Amino acid sequence: MRVLSYVKAGLLEWREAPEPRVDGDGVAIVRPVAASTCDADWAIVAGRAPLPGPFALGHEAVGEVVAIGDGVTRVAVGQLVVVAWQICCGACDRCAAGLTAQCRAVPRGAMFGSPLGGDFGGLFSDLVRVPFADAMLVPLPVGVSPEAVVSAGDNLTDAWAAASRALAAWPGASALVVGGSGGLALYAVQAALCAGASAVDYVDRDPGRLALAASLGARPIRRADAADLGEYPVVIESSGNPDELQRALRATAPGGTCHSSSIFFGDVPMPLLDMFMKDITFRIGRCSTRPFIPSVLQLVAEGKLHPERVTSAVFPWDEAPAALSQRSTKPLLVRPAVLAGAAQGA
């Protein structure tokens, strides 16, 4: 089978690999039918992440289940499923507490699409072995397309978790979203409004993303015009830029929450005195998305979230190396389901 591999900075290519097999209880084999980039994938492709190639890329996908092992009871062959991006058993004390990104059953950092925590393959592959299938696979509701929720395993759900948790503490508050690195910030605009924000301001440097944010209901602010933003009880930062992180922290209102979804590959300066004086909460980390995926799928099924509006381009599956060689906000790779999603919603 083919595996889309990151080889070195700027070079992606299909490579041949043995087909995965059901080799134990709880294992499923999934055939991705829609896949997209996480914002962090662009840092990998550009060679800015401390991850030497080659390795299989990709950790956002919806697929169809093509085989299951003994003990798999929550998904069936033919079912369309969201694949959680982190490897998690669903049974340890951390998973039970909702900390699926910190599962005790696997090495720290274990995930698809990266060599961190071991080689679990990537979701830009013809087939993928999913351990702990009952814990990691979430069936799509009837009527929800794979293309719409392709990022539900990571970026889309990360955005919902950030917005909904912060707005639970500040019902009806205004929110600031600091973008600049891809699709997650645009998902956060929708998520904040869906979670009850009275208004959302969106900061970015890219005219296209600013226009899209406006169409999603935000007030767009060019980064060059964002010297004095005022203060917001809820701030979501997803720029990947240390200077913008500082801007986000300084814009957090007294007692407010600033959530960063960025990955910084090194130490960055922070305005700790300002944070201290305002008594704000700062949250950053690998979001444990798995507990939030069902809620996100339900919001999409009810027509309250429209993540498909963030998709920037759609490509046939075979064109993956070329499609991902040029950055765009949220490219989508698709191919038909061979089992036609016969068990969808079962």
Quote the pLDDT of residue 344. 55
Read off the CATH number of the domain in which 310 is found.
3.90.180.10
Read off the CATH number of the domain in which 207 is found.
3.40.50.720
The whole-model pTM stands at: 0.95
Residue 341, in any domain of the structure: no
On the question of pLDDT at 33 being above 70, the answer is yes
20, 29, 95, 100: which is closest to 65 by C-alpha? 29
What integer is the mean pLDDT of 25-48?
Answer: 95
62 and 120 assigned to the same domain: yes
Dist. CA 283–CA 271, nearest whole Å:
14
What integer is the mean pLDDT of 160-165?
Answer: 97
Strands 80-83 and 60-68: antiparallel
Identify the domain boundary among 243, 269, 284: 284
Amino acid at 140: L
Quote the pLDDT of residue 225. 80
Dist. CA 3–CA 55, nearest whole Å:
9
228, 227, 238, 231: which is closest to 310 by C-alpha? 238
230 and 267 assigned to the same domain: yes
193 and 270 assigned to the same domain: yes
What 222-227 contacts at long range (C-beta under 8 Å, 24+ apart), as own/partner pairs, is 223/180
Q: Minimum mean pLDDT among 29-33, 47-51, 53-57: which range?
A: 47-51
130 and 194 assigned to the same domain: no
In tens, the pLDDT along 306-327 reads 999 999 999 999 999 999 988 8
Quote the pLDDT of residue 227. 77
On the question of pLDDT at 341 being above 60, the answer is no
23 and 40 assigned to the same domain: yes
Residue 166, in any domain of the structure: yes
Residue 343, in any domain of the structure: no
Identify the domain boundary among 284, 300, 318: 284
| % of the chain beyond a pLDDT of 90 | 91
Dist. CA 68–CA 115, nearest whole Å:
25
User: Terminal CA-to-CA distance of the chain, rounded, Å?
Assistant: 29
As for how many domains the chain has, the answer is 2
40 and 146 assigned to the same domain: yes
Cβ distance 69 to 24 under 8 Å?
yes
7 and 148 assigned to the same domain: yes
Range of the domain at 177: 155-284
Quote the pLDDT of residue 268. 94
Token readout for 35 is 């896949």
The residue assigned the tokens 């429209």 is: 306
Residue 340, in any domain of the structure: no
CA 171 to chain centre: 24
175 and 313 assigned to the same domain: no
Token readout for 101 is 């990104």
In tens, the pLDDT along 199-240 reads 999 999 999 999 999 999 999 999 888 778 899 999 999 999
Residue 201, in any domain of the structure: yes
13 and 134 assigned to the same domain: yes
277 and 318 assigned to the same domain: no
Token readout for 171 is 């019902």
13 and 105 assigned to the same domain: yes
233 and 320 assigned to the same domain: no
Residue 196, in any domain of the structure: yes
CA 81 to chain centre: 15
Question: pLDDT-based confidence at 181, cuts 50/70/90?
Answer: confident
